[in-house]
Amino acid sequence: MPVAKAESSSTTPTPRGRGRRGTRASGDDRERAILETAERLLEERPLSEISVDDLAKGAGISRPTFYFYFPSKDAVVLTIVDRLVAESGGSREEIITALAEGGPQAGFRVGLENLYAAFRARPGVVRAGTDLRATNQEARDLWAQVMEGWVADVTAVIEAERARGAAPPGQPARDLAIALVQMNERAQYATLLGESPSLEADRVLDVLIDVWLRAIYGTADPG
């Protein structure tokens, strides 16, 4: 597919990724209303108990009109999750700088803390995104891509720490990174949703970082 060539900017319909085929008028309000309704309802009940009609009603439109703005309920959720992921993405680079400034413990803590903070405020959205992976390939792909990004970052950090002699050799850095990132995903999700068993919200970071440091440095108290 060719990249859209620059069009006359004045009347260009602006096609937003997963949203509606381009428009410009007051329909923007409706689109926002749908997204806001979805975010609100997702904090009240799981995705499977929210119908397209609920979203339409909440946005003050009829069900067919909903389909003018989004191709499906899934697309709404993916749009919301996309944004949440984008918000949290900024914190990834913060790991690197925090590592350089504060050493390993502080670095990892800052990184994981920021990440966790981004999701903590909207557990319903996190749950919806997770649930969606059961039925939606696009949701699986999106999440796989997010995980791949974190794994790549962590792999790089581990390799750097080994190169400068701060961490001993061991399992391949990428393998270690995969296991640790997956542990975090699962543990933080369980804590966020209040599963049992799960780590207490105010202990989860302490415990996870302890495992990270021991796995990477061989001690809970490196340099």
Q: Among 18, 58, 71, 160, which residue interacts with DNA (rule: CB under 7 A)?
A: 71
In the complex, the smallest distance separating the C-beta of residue 2 from DNA, rounded to whole angstroms, is 21
Q: What's the sign of the alpha-carbon dihedral 186, 189, 195, 196?
A: positive
Q: Among 1, 25, 134, 163, which residue interacts with DNA (rule: CB under 7 A)?
A: 25
Is position 190 an interface residue for DNA (rule: CB under 7 A)?
Answer: no
Q: How far apart are the first and last CA of the chain?
A: 51
In the complex, the smallest distance separating the C-beta of residue 80 from a copy of itself, rounded to whole angstroms, is 17
In the complex, the smallest distance separating the C-beta of residue 94 from DNA, rounded to whole angstroms, is 38
Q: Among a copy of itself, DNA, none, what does residue 4 contact (CB within 5–8 Å per kind)?
A: none
Q: Among 43, 53, 87, 101, which residue interacts with DNA (rule: CB under 7 A)?
A: 53
Is position 26 an interface residue for DNA (rule: CB under 7 A)?
Answer: yes
The residue with tokens 């946005």 is 59
Judge contact between 142 and 77, C-beta under 8 A.
no
Q: By CB under 7 A, how many residues form the interface with DNA?
A: 23
Question: Which residue stretch of 60-68, 109-117, 138-146, 156-164 sits at the interface with DNA (rule: CB under 7 A)?
Answer: 60-68
Nearer to a copy of itself, 33 or 183 (CB): 183
- Burial of residue 98 (CB within 10 Å: 0-12, 13-18, 19+) is buried
DSSP letter string, 139-176: HHHHHHHHHHHHHHHHHHHHHHHHHTTSS---S-HHHH
Judge contact between 199 and 209, C-beta under 8 A.
no
Q: Among 64, 165, 169, 197, which residue interacts with DNA (rule: CB under 7 A)?
A: 64
Alpha-carbon span 223 to 183, nearest angstrom: 24
CA atoms within 13 A on the CB side of 50: 26
Question: Which residue stretch of 48-56, 139-147, 165-173, 208-216 sits at the interface with DNA (rule: CB under 7 A)?
Answer: 48-56
